[in-house]
Structure 1
């Protein structure tokens, strides 16, 4: 897979790409669950505005470890 972050010459491009892929996976699982953002927030132990950031793809708001944790809480085995 092409790393757009490396193409842009950004520092830590591999980390950014990994986080982007994890965030994309979390977003897909949230949308596929068809749960409200409130219910997803409860499942993840976060606020609804944080769920909104996940769904909208706010990369800077989440670390890779946090995204991996959310994936596991959503039933994805990492």
Structure 2
């Protein structure tokens, strides 16, 4: 299994969406999402889809942190 597929599965699990919800979120058929989630299936999601999931996970983390009364400060590149 390649890294993109592994990242997709990890991020999808983190979002806790069922197959239909995940398919609607990424705008693809549920059968395609099923293939992407299957370690034994050769189909790999496009990088754009992985980036979309990563962005959503980060947005949710930001919201959780802010809900606890904290703020996030962007660290400048060294």
Counterpart in 1 of 2:28?
46
Structure number with higher helix proportion = 1
Greater Rg by CA: 2
Aligned equivalents of 1:25, 1:44: Cα separation in 2: 15
Structure 2 gaps of 5+ residues are 59-78
Alignment length (residue pairs): 56
Structure 1 gaps of 5+ residues are 1-18
Aligned-pair Cα RMSD in Å = 2.2
Conserved? CA contact 2:11–2:53, under 8 Å: yes
- Report the TM-score, using the length of structure 2 for normalisation: 0.60
- Report the TM-score, using the length of structure 1 for normalisation: 0.60
